Amino acid sequence: MLQDKSDRMNHMNSQYRELGQTFRLSQAALEVGIFTVSELESLTGVGANTIYTFVSQLGEEYIRSEGLPSSGRGRPRKRYKLTEAGLAMLAAQNANVLAAMGRVRTGSTATLQQLLQQIMKLPANERSVLINQVRQSTEQPAAEAATVQYETAGS
Amino acid sequence: MRERLDALLLFASVLRPLVVSLSKATDVEGKPRWFNILDILAERIASQVPNLTHVSETTLIWKQFTSDLSIASLKPLAAGVIQSIQRELEKSLAAWNPNFGLDYLVEANGRASRRVAQMEVQKLGRQQAETVPVLLLIEYDPKSEQQHASSVRGTSEIRWRLQPEEYSLWGALIADRVFEHEYFCHLLPVNTHLSAEIREGFLDGVLQFQHSLCTTTGADEALAESWWNYALHRFRDDLWDHFDETLDEDQLKLRNLGQSPKRRGSNYWRLVGTVLDCPEGAAEAQQLKEMLLRL
């Protein structure tokens, strides 16, 4: 009966899957404010190692950590708290992604691949700005990222 | 219906003060985490509540829960908290009075209205808060087809529905947050035509951002806020899954705007005040939405 909720796909995860893990982690972290890796794992379905990478990349300006009592085995556990600057940065970052999508999106079910295809149809100056926003805020499969780089360079 | 409601609220009321202890215990001892443990109880309650005929039968639900192998094999600290919850459950049943469950909801309603009134005075700079506690209307929805909570401005009431679903325990644990949303996002705004993007997006984002900001690590009370944030997030995810609702993209965009400290300080709260005080009218609501989406 015990089933970690990370096994299931929650609503936001399924709807914004194409936006990447960073978007989902940022949104969940914004909502909760203070969290452990296992709590974020449960809310987003994203793997623990990816979450450790996410929090370590944020840096001290945006996130603080507090050690938790250890059970003596495994990686030391920590509770993380977003600073005000961290809340601001993640909210702005996610807003940028959504704004970028709204700029190019014609339907409501575009995948990341479709989004990128639509970005490619924009004038070069608008394209590079949007690509940077999406790239900074989402984790794209390597093949898609490579396509963007190639087509941007060739424009 | 009443016995079922009492049973759910009895579990919520004895759990709520001990969730922090349970969380701390599982921080030390590892899996199952506190939310895994609550999931098991939520599942047992949801499956048994439709058949419950007397509140004393909560002890049978509790026995089923503690017989689960994951619970029976809990390590000492978490097992100790579970025993404390059991003692509280037994004490509450021994001193049972018919208003027990309702008192829990009424207290949650009071906390919610006080918090929104406090925001009005402290953040929006109002001389006097408009928010006062409204009537709670509780209904049983055995097929879980209606909204879990809703507000009616004309009669000044909040409707809260008991539904035999797993999300109901999470919802009962954070009933104050559910009511707070009804006050701030549905009862307080002047314009009755405000769209879901503004109510569920922007205004709810403002509320949630305040909760995220208020928390500081260290103090138990402050730390508990983050667990309620977690519980609210879990509750909503499960609720949306149940109703297969789509999360509108503009809604999320405005939610991020509400959570954005870029608009902090006087400008931020002026913006929130503008939204809350937007004059009545469909055209005004549409203009407001377009304005917010351009920000």
Using the structure block, give the residue that is written with the tokens 């104050």.
B176
Q: Is the pLDDT of residue B56 over 70?
A: yes
Distance CA B5, CA B274 (A): 39
Strand residues in A61-150 grouped as ranges (E): 63-67, 78-82
Cβ-based neighbours of A79, under 8 Å, separated by 6 or more? A34, A35, A36, A65, A66, A68, B27, B217
- Residues 71-90 of chain A whose Cβ lies under 8 A from any Cβ of chain B: 71, 73-74, 77, 79, 81-82, 84, 87-88
Q: What is the DSSP letter of B31?
A: S
* Domain boundaries defined on chain B: 2-98, 102-294
**Which residue, among B88, B78, B83, has the nearest Cα to B24 in the 3D structure?**
B78
Q: Which among B233, B236, B255 is the top mutation candidate for probing chain A, defined by the most A β-carbons within 10 Å of its own β-carbon?
A: B233
Q: Is the pLDDT of residue A62 over 70?
A: yes
Residue in A66, A87, A98 closest to B252 by CB:
A98
Q: Which residues in chain A have Cβ-Cβ distances shorter than 8 Å to B230?
A: 32, 35, 39, 43
Average per-residue pLDDT for chain B: 87
Domains annotated on chain A, with CATH: 5-153 (1.10.10.10)
Using the structure block, give the residue that is written with the tokens 């949104």.
A27
From A86's Cα to the closest Cα of chain B, the distance in A is 10
State the pLDDT at residue A8.
Answer: 47
Strand residues in chain A grouped as ranges (E): 34-36, 63-67, 78-82
State the pLDDT at residue A105.
Answer: 46
- Torsions phi, psi of B128, nearest 5? -140, 135
CA dihedral B33, B36, B42, B44 (to 10 degrees): -110
Using the structure block, give the residue that is written with the tokens 């705007």.
B257
Cβ-based neighbours of B41, under 8 Å, separated by 6 or more? B11, B15, B65, B169
pLDDT band at A7 (very low <50, low <70, confident <90, very high): very low
Q: Is the pLDDT of residue A143 over 70?
A: no
Q: Is the pLDDT of residue A64 over 50?
A: yes
* Omega cis (within 30) before B32: yes
CB atoms closer than 10 angstroms to residue B162: 25
Q: What is the pLDDT of residues B211-228, one digit of tens each?
A: 877 655 556 776 788 888
Q: What is the pLDDT of residues A15-60, one digit of tens each?
A: 455 567 888 899 889 888 889 899 999 888 888 889 999 999 998 8
Q: What is the pLDDT of residues B184-195, one digit of tens each?
A: 999 999 999 999
State the pLDDT at residue A20.
Answer: 73
B194 close to B280: Cβ distance less than 8 angstroms: no
CB atoms closer than 10 angstroms to residue B20: 16
Q: Is the pLDDT of residue B230 over 70?
A: yes
Which residue stretches of chain B are H helix? Answer: 2-15, 19-29, 34-48, 58-67, 69-72, 76-94, 100-122, 167-173, 175-181, 196, 204-214, 220-243, 249-258, 265-277, 282-294
State the pLDDT at residue B147.
Answer: 82
State the pLDDT at residue B132.
Answer: 94
